[in-house]
Amino acid sequence: MADMLTQLSLDLGVPLFLLAAALIWSLVWKAIALWKSARLNQPVWFIVILIMNTLGILDILYIFLFSKIKLDDKKVKKKR
């Protein structure tokens, strides 16, 4: 595992300690969110949190769907 992280660090040009810190930061917040959703008996949120981060679904949706939408082209209607 250490060799894989070292190689990834070299490939990305990011110091290993920053890569490890980002990994730990992400895992801590994910664990807290999963724990809280389980304690509140919210299985839908548990599954969404687990899948969205693990499979990169949000990233994929952004790249292939939301990045194609140009917000400048849409006009916002003013409420009267």
Residue 48 pLDDT exceeds 70: yes
pLDDT of 9 above 70: yes
Q: What is the mean pLDDT of the chain?
A: 77
Q: pLDDT at residue 32 above 80? A: yes
pLDDT (average), residues 72-76: 55
Residue 45 has pLDDT above 80, yes or no: yes
Q: What is the pLDDT of residue 64?
A: 84
> What one-letter code names the amino acid at 60?
I
pTM listed for this prediction = 0.58
Tens of pLDDT, residue by residue over 16-30, are 888 788 888 888 888
Cα–Cα distance measured from residue 72 to residue 27, given in angstroms and rounded to the nearest whole number:
36
